[in-house]
Amino acid sequence: MTSATLRHAGWILRGNPLTAVAAAGVFLLTLIAIFGPWIVPYDPIASNVSQALMPPSAVHIAGTDQLGRDVFSRLIVATRLDLAIAISAVGISFAIGAVIGAICGYTGGRLDRGIGRFVDVLMAFPLFVLAMAMVAALGNRVENIVIATAIINLPFYIRFARAEVNVRRNLGWVEAARACGDSHLSVVLRFLLPNVMPAMAVQISLNLGWAILNAAGLSFIGLGVKPPTPEWGIMVAEGARFISTGKWWLVAFPGLALMLTLCFNLLGDGVRDILDPRMRT
């Protein structure tokens, strides 16, 4: 990233405090995901029944769960898994969906109509229910959660890239690229796709937050990551059984962690402004 881009990013963040707060939240989550497993005070899967269901204190700042495991340590370690699932799934769906959508928008014809019908059929199902069905069929392993989440995100990128490329495919600079001898595939990958990236940045940011919630939701209903692996959805599901007895910390802290995923949604507009060259005038 050039110094000019960094200065422009700083200007955008100073002018939009909400985007700056979202960027700080995303940065914090990233640091926790990278360094969390080495800074936790306790083993996140080690049980100690004698310390079960202890409220937050100086010893356990987020309390302990029904097996005496430190809630704070489990929250920190779970960040890496949830972010890894979201980033992997969104990266796969973006890479495949953006290319397919761009080619459809550029070429049109029967390919465009065929892919369009496939996308329509895919989006006719409630996406979370579709993810549930795929994970139930494939098995509740992490890689299958990634695959299911990537598949249900595909329609967003295919439709978005198709619409943006369809608007630009006959513009002067595209005609100039073709006149210079570039192949159709080169025009799509070298010129059209990079040009629509600022607009797609918002969709990527939105999908990252939603992918984390999707993984947590699958774990909450028993179709996601298997216990005792620390994961936010599992922690909410296990803690929900103790809400009626006043053990609020078992749900409150994982719930707050899931709320932090809103930072990805709020960051989308700022990322678009940073990447869009028209905002640099």
Number of domains in the chain: 1
**Residue 52 forms part of a structural domain:** no
Q: Assess contact for 225 and 82: CB atoms under 8 A.
A: no
The Cα–Cα gap between 161 and 267 comes to 20
| Residues ≥6 apart with Cβ < 8 Å to 253 | 62, 63, 71, 72, 75, 235
> What digits encode the pLDDT tens for the residues 181-234?
888 888 888 888 888 887 788 888 888 989 999 999 999 988 888 888 899 999
> What digits encode the pLDDT tens for the residues 219-243?
998 888 888 889 999 999 999 888 8
**Residue 269 forms part of a structural domain:** yes
Domain of residue 254 covers 3-44+57-280
**Residue 236 forms part of a structural domain:** yes
Q: Assess contact for 82 and 232: CB atoms under 8 A.
A: yes
Residue 78 CB neighbours (<10 A): 26
Q: What is the CATH number of the domain that holds 73?
A: 1.10.3720.10
> What digits encode the pLDDT tens for the residues 125-180?
888 999 999 999 988 889 999 999 999 999 999 999 999 898 888 888 888 888 88
Regarding pTM above 0.75, the answer is yes
Residues in the chain, total: 281
**Residue 142 forms part of a structural domain:** yes
| Residues ≥6 apart with Cβ < 8 Å to 187 | 106, 174, 177, 178
**Residue 222 forms part of a structural domain:** yes
**Residue 50 forms part of a structural domain:** no
Token pair belonging to 199 = 């607009």
- Residue 106's identity, in one-letter code, is Y
**Residue 196 forms part of a structural domain:** yes
pLDDT at 7 over 70: no
**Residue 49 forms part of a structural domain:** no
